Amino acid sequence: MLAKRIIPCLDIKDGKTVKGINFVNFRDAGDPVELGAAYSEQGADELVYLDITASHEGRKTFTDLVKKVAANVSIPFTVGGGINELHDVDRLLNAGADKVSINSSAIKNSGLISAIAENFGSQVCVVAIDANFENGKWICYLNGGRMPTDKELFSWSMEAESRGAGEILFTSMTHDGVKDGYANEALAVLSETLKIPVIASGGAGKMEHFKDVFTLGKADAALAASVFHFGEINISGLKGYLKREGITMR
């Protein structure tokens, strides 16, 4: 079994880390560079920084912030939001990011996945999928969960993999910020269907939820935000707990 990863996610709006519930009602969670450095020291395996309004507002992602993070953090980090072309990827990697996460732009132009994989390697390309469970189906959304599409989670994940995605980051909008546990049934299907790693997002509320996402959901990595930002769960304590539960951690 591959070692599992713990990944704090920092949603960035107007230069600050924010956290919402079901993709709305955001509150301030602190300085993104300071938080990233603290998580790095606590033993986080990676970080994800998402400019959550970039696609909706038609902006490019925050190069200056990426440079600051790179100067202060000693673990790999992924950057997403407003990435629409290879030039954006090049700019962010040059600023210090290790990977990029594409979501809306991948749905609108699936060729972008292949282009990133061919030019920078599959390991750089994380395809993020925001999906909501509606009428018995997982419907994929654009623009930070604002706009439903005709894409469905499982078929779209398989297409993204076939086009060269290195990882799938699945956020359950149904579970986001509710702290009731991850979408383990859907995650298990994804993990069994795909050959590439699956990162689970949406629903972490207590340490047991991380154990469940690795054992029941079969995820390769677990991403969380508010439980880390507001000090409810300490990362080193979490990794110790998971190791005691028999889960191989990075």
Q: Which are the catalytic amino acids?
A: 11, 130
Would you tell me the crossing angle of helices 32-42 and 63-72 to the nearest 10 degrees? 30
Four-residue CA torsion sign, 161, 163, 166, 167: negative
Count CB-CB contacts under 10 A for residue 224. Answer: 26
Run of H or E including 20: strand 16-21
Q: Is 246 helix (H, G, I), strand (E, B) or coil?
A: coil
Alpha-carbon distance of 66 to 63, in angstroms, equals: 5
Helical residues (DSSP H) of 49-103, grouped into ranges: 54-57, 63-72, 86-95
DSSP 92-126: HHHHT-SEEEESHHHHH-THHHHHHHHHH-GGGEE
- Asked if 107 and 149 touch (Cβ cutoff 8 Å), the reply is yes
Buried b vs exposed e over 81-108: b needs ≥16 C-beta within 10 Å?
A: bbbbeeebbebbbebbbbbbbbbbbbbe
